[in-house]
Amino acid sequence: MRASRAERFTHAAAAVPSWFSVTSRSRTRLRGIAKLASNSAAGDERILLDISLETTGVRVRETVPGTRFPARCPERHVEDDGWFCLGLSSGWMVEDAASASTWWAALEDFLKLQRVAARSGLWPDQNALSHGAAGKHHRDALALAGDVGLLDAYERHVSGERSVVAALDAALTKDGSRLINGRAACPCGRSRRGRPVLRRRCPHRAKVLALLREERSRARKLQEYWTWMAGTTCCGTMKGCPLAA
């Protein structure tokens, strides 16, 4: 049986790590200070945060959104009203004591990545899923890519680098049912008796097709997301942000 919203918050409140100092608490809200170690002369970073029980689960944001981070920035994974996006459906991540600890670890990683983004204007590669509804397709595509040995190629494709995934997508029929040129080499790089396995005989062909369909859906949903976001004011902190155009 899945935990109720109240139980999720109770688990999160009971798993507070040593780097977070609670300054006030209620049945639905924790307010406190996140302390992150720093090598700078300014000393450790202190970030005031509110963790609260919302209709979307256990959520977290700055006590005053926009103080340290942008009040809203898709590229820094800060949503409307300053809510942090810690991952796909992260508000429902907390189910028990173990997953509560995982949630806090995700928050700590998020805060550290914000520090990198503030310095470089870039969100570190391979540390986030695509925005909006594209995130589910991205997650599923990553799992499929790992299953068929194409994870590195897929991650490079998503980051805009050339990889075999683009060539496979070009060979995918419009309805996504098959790859043309079945006598080409298996995309997984398999061989038999010293010769490449044919594409049509690839033992992972069903998963390769599923991967390519998920990637097409991810790309389409991501484009729809940016179209929906058009007109949103860019915070100006991230390089190459589509909102800056």
Name residues of the chain where pLDDT drops below 70. Answer: 40-42, 125, 182-185, 187-200, 245
129 within a domain of the structure (yes/no): no
**What CA–CA distance (Å, rounded) separates 66 from 154?**
34
Owning domain of residue 225: 134-235
pLDDT at res. 188 = 65
Same domain? For 55 and 159 the reply is: no
pLDDT at res. 52 = 96
Q: Which residues pair with 22 in a beta bridge?
A: 32
Q: Are strands 45-54 and 57-62 parallel, antiparallel or unpaired?
A: antiparallel
162 within a domain of the structure (yes/no): yes
Q: How many domains does the chain have?
A: 2
128 within a domain of the structure (yes/no): no
Structure tokens at 111: 């805060």
Same domain? For 114 and 143 the reply is: no
Same domain? For 161 and 93 the reply is: no
Structure tokens at 163: 């990889």
Residue appearing with tokens 């720093």 = 38
Which letter, b or e, does each residue of 196-217 get, where b requires 16 or more Cβ atoms within 10 Å of its Cβ?
ebbbeebebbebbbbbbbbbbb
pLDDT at res. 192 = 65
83 within a domain of the structure (yes/no): yes
pLDDT at res. 144 = 96
32 within a domain of the structure (yes/no): yes
For residue 181, the one-letter residue type is N
